[in-house]
Amino acid sequence: MKPTSTDPLAGRSAEARAAATVFQPGVLAGKVALVTGGGTGIGAATARQLGRMGAEVVIASRKAANIEPAARGLSAELGREVLGVVADVRDRASVDALIAATLARFGRLDILVNNGGGQFLCPAEALSARGWDSVVATNLTGQWAVIQAAANAWMLANGGAIVNVTMLSRRGFPGMAHSVSARAGVEALSRTLAVEWASRGVRINCVAPGIVASSGMRNYPEGAVDVQTLARIIPMKRLGTAEEIAATIAFLASPAAAFLTGQTLTVDGGQSLWGDHWPIPDPEPLPHVELPREWWEEP
Ligand SMILES: NC(=O)c1ccc[n+]([C@@H]2O[C@H](COP(=O)([O-])OP(=O)(O)OC[C@H]3O[C@@H](n4cnc5c(N)ncnc54)[C@H](OP(=O)(O)O)[C@@H]3O)[C@@H](O)[C@H]2O)c1
């Protein structure tokens, strides 16, 4: 069988990669987009994609060491200023300051991509209270804090599109009890806000990435996740790319998705339809199966 590369555009020039888009250049001209976690991985690819579609872009995360070089690099690539703001979604004052900085610089906020987040692998029984609280604070409460601040400061009065990055949550996600609970909460929150805010012109959707070959995979200790073998559990036999997740986020943020709200789009190469990555050994022997009868039936 023909081997599949992780990146379908591998080896192509920067120009060819930039051209590999279905989006009309300028379709987001005059719009302002805020991408949390926009200095790395999926967030940086999303900031680039939205910028190429014409939006003014703000990126934000905790570490200046992530945000400052990314803001410089994206500004150089797009030929206009991408504003980088150091902000922590777990801190309400920091979130309010981020929204205020966005409005002060660009005067509006049309698109919010809630992508900042993260977690660590841990069997549920070993999770500390601090570990659970911190993952929920980032991935559920933090996403809500940014949504609420953006909504109150701009979107409820002027409309907008929100895209929340979650994870595969329709099946269980062993090793990620904290994060999958938070992400499922964000998906339920999005379905709820989609209804509450529909008449205010605010659409809100989620993108649930499968396994993506991005900077985020470096956060797992060596040995905990073997990136080289993960393609085995994906029907397409390759990992996704940050650009492929960014393209789905950009679609949801764009006018092409104007009638789409409250949905979660899964972008996973078919992974959630198949396979398992948490082997559960079979007992020996497997339990005997007795087909039941009602008590009044003849044996
Ligand atoms: N890669 C995958 O396979 C995959 C699969 C499913 C879901 N996801 C999710 O997709 C999102 C992006 O992932 P990625 O692969 O691009 O990984 P990544 O590079 O680790 O991206 C996470 C980003 O979130 C920022 N961040 C973390 N905590 C934050 C906080 N409290 N406040 C503000 N920003 C914060 C980080 O920057 P700072 O450290 O500077 O704050 C970083 O830029 C994450 O939510 C991730 O969990 C990824």
Cα of 292 vs centre of ligand 1, distance in Å, is: 50
Sequence spans of domains, the chain: 24-273
pLDDT of residue 1 exceeding 60, the answer is: no
Cα–Cα dist 43/21, whole Å = 17
Question: What pLDDT digit, counting tens, does each position of 54-103 carry?
Answer: 999 999 999 999 999 999 999 999 999 999 999 999 999 999 999 999 99
Least confident of 112-126, 191-205, 209-223: 209-223
For ligand 1, mutation pick of 7, 34, 59, 61 (most atoms within 8 Å of CB): 61
pLDDT of residue 122 exceeding 80, the answer is: yes
pLDDT of residue 183 exceeding 90, the answer is: yes
Is the beta carbon of 6 within 6 A of some atom in ligand 1? no
Residues 24-273, CATH architecture: 3-Layer(aba) Sandwich (3.40)
Q: What is the pLDDT of residue 89?
A: 98
**Nearest atom in ligand 1 to 65's CA:** 40
pLDDT of residue 3 exceeding 70, the answer is: no
pLDDT band at 147 (very low <50, low <70, confident <90, very high): very high
pTM: 0.93
pLDDT band at 265 (very low <50, low <70, confident <90, very high): very high
pLDDT of residue 12 exceeding 60, the answer is: yes
The whole-number average pLDDT for the span 178-190 is 98
* Residues 67, 73, 77: CA angle, nearest 5 degrees: 140
Q: What is the pLDDT of residue 193?
A: 99
The pLDDT > 70 percentage for the chain reads 94
pLDDT of residue 202 exceeding 90, the answer is: yes
The whole-number average pLDDT for the span 163-179 is 96
Mean pLDDT taken over the chain: 93
pLDDT of residue 14 exceeding 90, the answer is: no
Give the strand pairing for 111-114 and 160-165: parallel
Q: What DSSP string describes the chain?
A: -----S-TTTT--HHHHHH---SPTTTTTT-EEEEETTTSHHHHHHHHHHHHTT-EEEEEES-HHHHHHHHHHHHHHHTSPPEEEE--TT-HHHHHHHHHHHHHHHS---EEEE---------GGG--HHHHHHHHIIIIIHHHHHHHHHIIIIIHHH-EEEEEE----SS--TT-HHHHHHHHHHHHHHHHHHHHTGGGTEEEEEEEE-SB-SGGGGGSPTTTS-GGGGGGGSTTSS-B-HHHHHHHHHHHHSGGGTT--S-EEEESTTGGGS--SS--PPPSSPPPPPPP--TTS--
Contact 186, 164 (CB under 8 A): yes
